[in-house]
Structure 1
Amino acid sequence: MATFHHYPFCPQSRFIRLVLGEMGIAPATVEEKPWERSQSLLMINPAGHLPIFVEEQGLAVPGAAVIAEYLDETRGLGLDGRRLLPDHPADRVEVRRLMEWFLVKFFEEVSAYLVTEKIYKRFMKAELGGGPPDMAAIRAGRSNVRYHLQYIGFLIGKRNWLAGPDLTYADLAAAAHLSCVDYLGDVPWEEDETAKAWYARVKSRPSFRALLTDRVPGMAPAAHYEDLDF
């Protein structure tokens, strides 16, 4: 059986959890604390980053984008109409562009700020950077999420899903990152009803159920977090 190393509130890990759910893959899971960079974690990924997908025969596949590509190459053809990376090269470019938008740009401008300051630092030792949240970083994340939400609304105003007519990696990457921010109550859904309706569709998928049961010890989610008709 394959093994998946993740942290429940690592947005990159959440993306791959959604992918695995959509593909019907149920690996064994190992929860890691990304801020600790344990020796066991560094042994399978010297960069110390999550997530990591390890095949039964020992092949370690590190990083959300690399895992997504690998799973499409090794399992995608067996998914028939449920493949998450389209067949046509131009369509694949658009999915990859939007994957990078959310896995890199959104992460750097929004989710990394908010998850680190509000969640990770609660559990980090002082020598590793733990302590009170940096309110300037939180304000930056809350400000930046607004234009990302507008961009989602713009795309969905022209398409059924973010990258085109079908659900793809682009939707799952965006929803995974937004789900962490939504747990914290920092997504201003009232500012874009189109983006909100798209998120409600993704949130209602069976692959999303496990994410909605995650909890940060000592921190309850926003009141609407589990509500499919929020």
Structure 2
Amino acid sequence: MKILVCITNVPDTTAKIAFTDNDTKLNKNGIQYIIGPYDDYALARGVEIKEQSGGTLTVLHVGGAEADPQIRKALAIGADDAIRVNAEPLDSYYAALQIAQVAKQNSYDLILMGRESIDYNSGVVHGLVGEMLGIPSYSPVMKLDLDGNQATITREIDGGNEILKVSLPLVLGCQEPIAEWKIPNMRGIMTARTKPLNVVEPVASEILTTPEKYTLPAPKGACRMIPASEAETLIRLLKTEAKVL
């Protein structure tokens, strides 16, 4: 079993976000980065499958050297080796093309990634990778079980869940509760230092989308407290001001 887990390098969920260059770029000063939370679920399930079924697990990231600490963390959690495509992932198509190129060269049985990154939230990379490789892709996957070359997956759909039986190879976009996040132990941290992290150059590709401007969400409005004895006032405000009734 050859498993590829794709990870993103994203701002911590508690980071204070600001923009620069006339609101066209993220201001990275003082930002703490983490492995994308959905990618953490994919990585955890990949490690479990490798431990149960044997084989190898490779971590792949498209980005610059600033992501190396997060890649090393993935190695400490249980990946055997890592590949970093030395390019800024400027849009989903570009990132998917780099992933597909690596996958074509190594013939992975299972490609796992988060359902989406938490910075751009496009949620389309897994589908693009599957199309480029000519293999099925599914997302968001909440449960994954393997029996030889057969996979049973549970994915979330409108109004419920869908259970599918499909054959490998597959590309899956993962979310909770497919696995519990794993924390690297000291032995894993020490061995991660000697595991290979291979840096490769990207394949040429045009950039199909370019962001024109970023904006922050509108600030939250002031909270108005209504005494429990004034239910009629609350109902009137919900109708006339909040307009939720």
Q: Identify whether the pair has TM-score above 0.5, normalized to the shorter chain.
A: no
Q: What TM-score results when the alignment is normalised by the length of structure 2? A: 0.29
Q: What TM-score results when the alignment is normalised by the length of structure 1? A: 0.30
- Which structure's residues are more often strand, by fraction? 2
Q: Considering Cα pairs closer than 8 Å and 6+ residues apart, tell me whether 1 or 2 has the greater RCO.
A: 2
- Which structure's residues are more often helix, by fraction? 1
